[in-house]
Structure formats: C-alpha cells, structure tokens
Amino acid sequence: MAPKEHAYGPPKKSKAERHTDLKERRQKLFEDLEKVEADLQKQRELEESETAALMSQWTPSTKQRHEKVEQHMAGKLKKVAEEEEVAEEIRHHFDYPGEKGLVAMQIGMSMGYCGYVITSWLYVGALRHDLFPDCDAYWQGRFEQTALCEVTVLTFWTFPLFCCIFLLIFFYRDLLCTRLYYECLAHNVFLDFENIDFFNSKAIRIMCVQIIFSLLMYPFTGNVHLQGLKLTVAYWLPILSFLAMLYASWDLETRLLSLGKYVEREFDDAKIHIDNSVFIRDYLMRQAFEIVKTDARKEAKSHRTGKYIRAIVSTAEQLVRESMVDETGSITLQGDAASGKETFFMAFSQSYWVNDFLYCPSLRDKRALKFRRLFLVYKVYTWCLMLFLLYLAFATCVSHLRHQRWIDESILTRWFRVENFLIVSFGPKVEQEAQNFFRYSEQLASRVHFT
C-alpha cells in the first residue's frame, strides 16, 4: 500500500528509504573527499617539481617525498643535452653569442670605458702644477700634514688608473662566466651565479677608501674654494660615470639573457627548452666539477662539453642525494662559503673553477678549442693594457716625487715621466718654457730679417 499522505506536508519516509538516502549521502561525501585528496596530491607534486631541479632550497620533509624528488631529478637528468648536435640546435632558439663576438664585444667595451676614465688622469696631469702645491712649502715643515698632503695628492692622481685596472679585471671575469653560462644553457642547464652584494665586495670597499683619500686632497692642498672645485669638475665626471656603470652592471645575470630576448625568436621552443632544463647553483656545480675533474684526469680521456656537463649534473644529483639528507629524512642544502666571494684577481688563476672548467684538458671538442684560441687574444690584450696602466701609475709616482723635490733629476725620472703621454700640458713651468720658445723664435726671426 502507498504511504498515507500527511495533511500538513509530504508523507514520512519509511525506515528503509531513510537508510538508502543516508548511504547515498555518505557515498557522495566519500567521493568529494577523494577529489580533495587528489587535488592536494597534485599540488604537492607540483611543489616538488618546482624545487626538485637541484635548487638551493628544498621543501620535502620525509623520505617518501625525497624519493619522488629523486625520480623527478633523474627524469630531468635524461634531458641534459649530451650530444653537440642537439646543443647546436638549441643555440638557434635564442641569441647565443659566438666566440668571436663575445671576445670582440668585451675588448670594445673595456677599451671604451678605460679610454673614457683615463681622461681624468690626463686632465690632472695637465693641471698638476696649478692644482697641487709643494706640500712641504705649503705646510712649512709640519711632517704629518705634509705626509697627508702628498699621499692624498698621489691617491687623487692615480685613482683613475686603478679604476681602469679594476675594470679590466671585472670584464675578464665576466667573459669567463658568460662563456660558461651560455655553454651550460645550450646543454639544458640553467647555471645560477651567486653574486656578492656591491658594497660587501672588498674591491669596492678599497675603492671607497681611495675616494675618501682623494676628497681629502682638497683641504690638505688648500683647494677648498670655488676655483679649486671648478678645476676638478672635469676630473670627477668620468669617475662618477664609471662608478654608476659599475653599480648598474654589477650583477652579471642582469646582462646575460633577458626573458624578452629568450622567447622572441621561437616562443614554443623556449617553453620546451625550459621544461627540459635543469637549474643548478654555482656552488653545487663547483663541488661536482671538482669531483668530475679529478676522475676525468685520472682516465686521461677526451670528452665533449655536453658529456662533461652531464657528468657534472649527475654528480651534483648524487651529492644532493647522499650527503644532504639527515637521519630524519629532511633535506638541507647549504651553499659553499667561498662561492661568490673570491677576489677578482682569482679570475687570472688557473685554480679559479670557471677558468679551470673552460681550460680543462679533458674538453677537446671544436667549440672549446676555438674559444681557447680566441680567449688567448683577449688575455694578451688584457695583460698588455694592464702592464701599460701599471707603467703609468709608476710614472705618476715618480713625477709626483720629482715635483715634491723628493728625488733629483736622473735616468729614472727621464724614463718614467708623465709628460710623454700628456696630450695637452700647461701650467707655470710649461708657460715659462713656451714664453722662452717664442722669445727665441722672435730673436731668430729678427736675425734672419736683418741678414
């Protein structure tokens, strides 16, 4: 019989019908819960994939999640371009600077900036007789003030030369790091250089000390007046321009490859390239390179760059897997304390890991050998220009000591004198020589006319 309809609403359901409804609601809740768990699992896998490619910060906290990271890294490792033919195709996807273009660009930029900054040195050399007094006569024998006067004058005069020397070292190191970055990029490896802060660099702090001593030149030489400041405006303009350029280009990665340049040629290929690439910090690559280098030199075999990079990434993965998982299963990855903090002069040493990598005897492919030949030209250019700047610095010291009457005229002052390089020279001494020359010319002309 059909249930009797209630006068004030729908009929009451039977016990069996209510039980069926509860079962259906429970089943629906279970299905919704499974969907939520599936969404959470996808979100966890996405987070793991974003931090799995040899990055410096790792989020997994259990051994089970660490195993998933290892599987993801192994999948990425298979996509590292080992063959040079594949790397050559990748190079066409973005603006890849060739060996000749990279060396020529660095030579042109360093020569242009050095030529601009050295005009400050030439300007001071031309005005030194009007700008710098005899410190001993000015301070009348007071030893401390006289010594500070001479030190500040010499610092003021030679500071542009040391700026040029630092600029050559800066571009030399940049060339090595730029070459390594693009070679790794062509083999599906994004190399992240750890960059020290601008004002934390020892070289910048030394330059700041030199600037302070240069500014002390004004009170110790009596140039704290409008005329003295006006005479040195042309000196400070190239210096300040150099410092601004150095600050703007301090981080190498800002000048390597922008996102717009990376995707403008072939957008779809760029997406595929990123998906197939590995991201690795420079300190981790450095540690892995030291291990691979030792093994490769023991074997005394020649390798291509792609195979070498693949071996380094594989070793880096092994370092992460074996050395950086504690007993609780959490992963800790710490940077190399020396990474990014080497002095700039380390770039000239063969022990500098970037230099050691590019000149590794195990690398014998065509591109590696071509870069070494062209980089030899750049190395000779850098050393020749640096030796010339050091010669100018020594000549400046000799000329300054001669002007301050610390040394007498000798073969040393004749070999090392700034007058040989000054384009325009003027001052009291030069003006007196010019007057004597014109007086002699007038006398000679009158004699010829009389004859």
| In-domain check, residue 400 | yes
For position 115, what pLDDT does the model report? 92
DSSP line for 381-409? HHHHHHHHHHHHHHHHHHHHHHHTTSS-S
Closest CA to 371 of 170, 104, 100, 90: 100
- Amino acid identity at 263: V
| In-domain check, residue 67 | no
CA distance 251 to 194: 9
| In-domain check, residue 227 | yes
Which tens digit of pLDDT belongs to each residue from 120-139? 999 988 888 888 888 888 88
Q: Of 336 and 219, which is predicted with more confidence?
A: 219
Percentages of the chain per state (helix, strand, coil), in multiples of 5 = 70, 5, 25
Residues 6+ apart with CB under 8 A from 383: none
| In-domain check, residue 427 | no
| In-domain check, residue 74 | no
Residue 20: pLDDT band with limits 50, 70, 90: confident
Give percent of the chain above pLDDT 70. Answer: 73
CA distance 398 to 252: 38
3-class DSSP assignment, residue 314: helix
CA distance 188 to 79: 7
Q: Of 9 and 88, which is predicted with more confidence?
A: 88
| In-domain check, residue 75 | no
pTM listed for this prediction? 0.71
| In-domain check, residue 62 | no
Q: Tell which phi-psi region holds residue 141, choosing left (phi > 0), alpha (psi between -120 and 50) or beta.
A: left
178: pLDDT strictly greater than 60: yes
Domain count, the chain: 1
Which residue range is the domain that position 260 belongs to?
84-420
Rg for the chain, CA atoms, rounded: 35
Which tens digit of pLDDT belongs to each residue from 402-429? 877 787 777 877 788 777 777 655 444 4
Average pLDDT over residues 207-215: 93
Which tens digit of pLDDT belongs to each residue from 56-107? 333 333 344 444 444 444 444 445 656 666 777 777 777 788 888 889 999 9
For position 107, what pLDDT does the model report? 93
| In-domain check, residue 204 | yes
Which tens digit of pLDDT belongs to each residue from 27-60? 777 777 778 777 777 766 655 543 343 433 333 3
